[in-house]
Structure 1
Amino acid sequence: MKNLIITLLLLFQINLSWAIDEEPFDISQPAKIQEANAEFVYKFLLAEIAAQRGDLNSAGHLYFDLARLTKNIPLAQRATNIAGYARNGRLALDSAELWRQLDDSSLEAKQILAELFISSGNLAKARPLIENLLILEKTRAEGFLYLNNLLTKVENKKNALRFILAVARPYPALAEAHFSIAHTAYFAGDLKLTENELDIVESINPQWETAALFRGFIMAKDWPEKALEFYKSFLNKNPKSNEVRLEYAKTLTSLKRYVEAKKEFLKLVDGSLASPEISLTVALLSLELNDNLLAEKFFNQSLERGYSQQDKIQIYLARIYNKRGDYKKALSTLDKIVSGELFVDAKLLATEIIAQNESTDKAIESLSIYKNIGPSDKLRFLQAKTSLLINNGRQQDAFDLMRSEDKNYADSAAFKFDYAMLAEKMDNLLLMEQLLKEAIKIKPDFALAYNALGYSYADRNIKLADAKKYIEIALSIQPKNHYIMDSMGWLHYRLGNLDIALKFTQKAYAIQKDPEIAAHLGEIYWKKGKVDEAKRLWKESLTNNPSNTVLNETYKRFN
């Protein structure tokens, strides 16, 4: 215990022979000390123990009290740091102020105190400290850039702008000072001042990437095409500006100009910004452009460069191999994923590949070997098995499988919903209704179950009052769900409210050009006498969805 006390006190340069009289604190007076004080040692150890146990508020107050009494700089610094970790603003300010008073030459103490004043909105007290720090020429430019981060956190953006205008005034030839004004003006909503200051920055330092990136960022928010022109112009003058090229490539991608974006990313992929993320981006763009060979190359490069989510890339590669016809390589690639978040996804993809290339039964058998998985993953495996059977035309086998598992999922709303949808396919509508009601009972906010039940009534033109009630509940839970909007439109069609039906169904189709929504919308057009519009819509949707049963049946019924 004695050795511990000696070690801790030496760490803070406190003489074991002395302690402090507890008299009122006066920074101008030297500390009054007397022989060893057990209470001092006790408080010191108590502060350390509190800090180790996570009671940072108590530790911070104890260190501040000890620093105030001993006028010890390391203790004041420790009190400041601990108060910061504890997010105790008042204590942090008091401790930092004490630290600055004890060591007026400490730039760190002044910087932290200025930060605390700014974060609390007290810019008047921060200003002399900041001005004092900016006097030092070697750190001035960096200081202005650091101020940008601090001032974005000030709630009153107009005050922040007035503050930066004042502290930047003595430095009219410094690009960073004008950039700080531009940055603060932007967040204060003064776009004219932002543009003017960025123009000054460009006249002082036309090659500065940070300023170019900020100007491009502002343009891209409202005028992405204008941002592209700016980036391109900057790159023509500064072809080695990789940061700007990266933003140029990203903006091209956001505008779906994938061919041009890929060219720019390829320029970056082996440059100074080369990273696994850049390689991955090139791979994904290549996939979008159906260039699987190039995608494979850069997926592998991303792996070699140490991309953190390697399983994600293995899944992409497996899809490429399978599409190429090398399904065994696809499966061996997926076998590399032995745990983690994508383990189940990998196994489900493997079953799809086995079903495509071997047989449905082998695919289902491949899932049956996994026993030690959680309930949610077991359900996903079951859903995959039933889907494989349905896609193989074996609806009865799928139904029998779900029925055999019913007792294992008595409390699963998701299982009951899936079972209900399969029961509907088997024309077992009573079972479907029962299962959907059970799902709703388990999960009262299950929008899809309410919608399925309401739509089933509306589609069969029965219990329309109940249908309306269920669909309204579904829509209140998921007001932007296009399938639920379509159900509400179809219900109003059944009720004869064609204008309301049209409104809901048009809105649904605008969100998602689904073939079944197209079938409904076309029928509503037809009933409203807009026959040509109905035919045009159906033909357009059939071009993209030639095998959709509902759409084909609707088109034949009216033609």
Structure 2
Amino acid sequence: IIARAVEVAGQARRVELVLALARLWVEVEPDSKRAQQVLVGVQIMTNQLDGLAPQLIGMLEQDRAALPANLVALNRMFARSPDRQAVLALVSQVCAPFFGLAEAHYAVAVAASSAGQEARALAEARQALELRPDWEAAALLEAQILAAKSSAAAISALQGFIARHPKSPDVQLQLARLLVGEKRYSEAKRHFEQLLVSYPNNPDVVFPVALLALQENDVALAEKQLKHLLTLELPNKSAPYYYLGQIAEDGKRPDEALAWYGQVGPGEQYLPAQLRSAAIVARSGKLEEARAMLRQAAESRPELRVQLALAEAALLRDAKQTEAAQAVLERELQRQPQQPELLYESALLAEKLGNMDVVESRLRKLIELQPNSAQAYNALGYSYADRNIRLEEARQLIEKALQLAPNDGFILDSMGWVLYRQGDLEGALDYLQRALAQRQDPEIAAHLGE
């Protein structure tokens, strides 16, 4: 009867009533595992952690065979508890009777890391490794804690573990991933290739091998592994489809590239696949078909309208159809008049068309919306400097842009150009030389030459 009452109260979300009933249930049936689980669960859910340790210790001791696994899973019970310090204190108290087990130290290490006590976490993870020297989970936890401050330290720890325990695939996989993150590609590739021998059908191994092969321009290996990846069980195959499209496009096989890109579904690769497909079609002389592709994509994925409109305008701009490109952006601005990218790109196109009032109004609107946009200040300042008007204001705008992005080559170029217009040749030379050192751009070089 009490169990049914607990169920009904839970469905009604009467948490305090569930707690009272659970306590009554434990009083009536003190040996009931189910009653104890419900009581503990409600106390954790309501963040009533004080005094919970004896109950948890008792529950753990009831199943000694499952004790190591239950200790490892202990922290999952507190995943939603907001007071991480209280969770650490409780987990430490619960695990103390079991400190002869590596899993107890592992549980404390997880709780300490979640509470931001990295030194304690690291010490407990290492104690777990002392008790179970070949335990991959503890080695991975140690590396995770170290990586928060130093990827190099994490890599070193994993390398040491692999040296002592060569047959540790999970550790070797994480080591390879960290090496990729540090751009140590040749070392990472060696580990992935070793893993590939033992696990040729593991997507977590096959995909990185393919990407590293692309990184090193080993196109044949990349293509082979990506096609193999398509034969494996994957929840989403968009990534291999996309990279196979890239390989075909770079190999001057446009029809094959379009076929691969066409199979890319929703997700991270969808937008770049659409943009690349449209660019391929436009390069073949079918500009209107390319535009239609982008518009169709915008209809099916309205959240990508802005990026797709910008891409359509870029195709038209490259085809020297500047007015048509501007019309595309104006159409989209009617829907989203304060969209920053549309304001910026439409201002640049308006400058090409000589519509300087539009340039100024759009860039000032952008500065109003995004007062920390270095590009907006720079574009407006440069538009004045290039026309040799309002030079003092131009310089102030560009100085503001430099404050926001002091190492941007184009902004350094703008400052050099406005100083040149003001007659400060020495200052102009300094900025233009710095700009060219940052970015080898023909326009910057032309300014420096002048």
Classify the TM-score, shorter chain: 0.7 to 0.9
Percent identity reads 23
Q: Tell me if structure 2 keeps the 8 A contact 1:76–1:98.
A: no
1: CA distance between counterparts of 2:247 and 2:128? Answer: 48
Work out which of the residue numbers 426, 434, 440 in structure 2 matches 1:545: 440
1:127 matched residue in structure 2: 53
1:363 matched residue in structure 2: 287
**Residues 504 and 164 (structure 1), Cα distance of their counterparts in 2 relative to 1, 3 Å cut:** same
1:27 matched residue in structure 2: none
Matched residue type, 2:58: N
SS at structure 1 position matched to 2:50: helix
Structure 1 position 538, deviation (Å) = 4.0
Structure 1 position 552, deviation (Å) = 2.0
Work out which of the residue numbers 385, 405, 415 in structure 2 matches 1:508: 405
1:203 matched residue in structure 2: 130
Alignment of 1:217 onto 2:144? yes
Alignment of 1:241 onto 2:241? no
2: CA distance between counterparts of 1:260 and 1:233? Answer: 15
Matched residue type, 1:233: G
SS at structure 1 position matched to 2:73: helix
Question: What CA deviation, in whole Å up to 9, does each residue of 1:319-360 have, x standing for no partner?
Answer: 11111122221122233358888666434312212344x32x
Q: Tell me if structure 2 keeps the 8 A contact 1:157–1:188.
A: yes
1:28 matched residue in structure 2: none
Question: What CA deviation, in whole Å up to 9, does each residue of 1:59-116 have, x standing for no partner?
Answer: xxxxxxxxxxxx343x145236536xx5x54344234334434543332331332233
2:369 matched residue in structure 1: 445
**Residues 149 and 423 (structure 1), Cα distance of their counterparts in 2 relative to 1, 3 Å cut:** same
Matched residue type, 1:82: Q
SS at structure 2 position matched to 1:368: helix
1: CA distance between counterparts of 2:85 and 2:330? Answer: 63
Question: What does 1:257-336 correspond to in 2, within 5 Å?
Answer: 257-269=184-196, 271=198, 275-336=202-263
Work out which of the residue numbers 405, 411, 414 in structure 2 matches 1:517: 411
Work out which of the residue numbers 376, 387, 396 in structure 2 matches 1:492: 396
1: CA distance between counterparts of 2:432 and 2:235? Answer: 51
Aligned residues: 437
Matched residue type, 1:106: S
Structure 1 position 196, deviation (Å) = 4.0
- The alignment yields a C-alpha RMSD, in angstroms, of 3.9
Q: Tell me if structure 2 keeps the 8 A contact 1:457–1:464.
A: no
The TM-score normalised by the length of structure 2 is 0.80
1: CA distance between counterparts of 2:265 and 2:109? Answer: 51
1:30 matched residue in structure 2: none
Larger CA deviation: 247-256 vs 425-434: 425-434
Matched residue type, 1:132: G
1: CA distance between counterparts of 2:6 and 2:199? Answer: 39
1:100 matched residue in structure 2: 26
1: CA distance between counterparts of 2:215 and 2:104? Answer: 43
Structure 1 position 233, deviation (Å) = 1.1
Structure 1 position 524, deviation (Å) = 8.8
SS at structure 2 position matched to 1:125: coil
1: CA distance between counterparts of 2:89 and 2:382? Answer: 63
| Structure with more contact order per residue of length (Cα contacts < 8 Å, sep ≥ 6) | 2
Question: What does 1:403-552 correspond to in 2, within 5 Å?
Answer: 403=327, 410-413=334-337, 418-433=345-360, 445=369, 451=377, 454-455=380-381, 458-459=384-385, 460=387, 462=389, 491-492=395-396, 501=399, 505=402, 508-510=405-407, 513=408, 515-520=409-414, 534=431, 537-541=434-438, 545-547=440-442, 549=443, 551-552=444-445
**Residues 411 and 385 (structure 1), Cα distance of their counterparts in 2 relative to 1, 3 Å cut:** closer
**Residues 369 and 124 (structure 1), Cα distance of their counterparts in 2 relative to 1, 3 Å cut:** closer
Structure 1 position 461, deviation (Å) = 6.2
Alignment of 1:79 onto 2:5? no
SS at structure 2 position matched to 1:387: helix
**Residues 174 and 430 (structure 1), Cα distance of their counterparts in 2 relative to 1, 3 Å cut:** closer
**Residues 451 and 532 (structure 1), Cα distance of their counterparts in 2 relative to 1, 3 Å cut:** closer
**Residues 189 and 335 (structure 1), Cα distance of their counterparts in 2 relative to 1, 3 Å cut:** closer
1: CA distance between counterparts of 2:149 and 2:267? Answer: 40
2: CA distance between counterparts of 1:336 and 1:156? Answer: 46
Question: What does 1:62-211 correspond to in 2, within 5 Å?
Answer: 71-73=1-3, 75-76=4-5, 78-79=7-8, 82=11, 86=13, 89-136=15-62, 137-151=64-78, 154-211=81-138
Structure 1 position 218, deviation (Å) = 1.2
Uncovered stretches (5+) of structure 1, i.e. residues with no partner: 1-70, 468-489, 495-500
1: CA distance between counterparts of 2:103 and 2:265? Answer: 51
Q: Tell me if structure 2 keeps the 8 A contact 1:277–1:302.
A: no
SS at structure 2 position matched to 1:423: helix
Q: Tell me if structure 2 keeps the 8 A contact 1:182–1:194.
A: yes
Q: Tell me if structure 2 keeps the 8 A contact 1:151–1:184.
A: no
SS at structure 1 position matched to 2:147: helix
2: CA distance between counterparts of 1:206 and 1:347? Answer: 50
Uncovered stretches (5+) of structure 2, i.e. residues with no partner: none
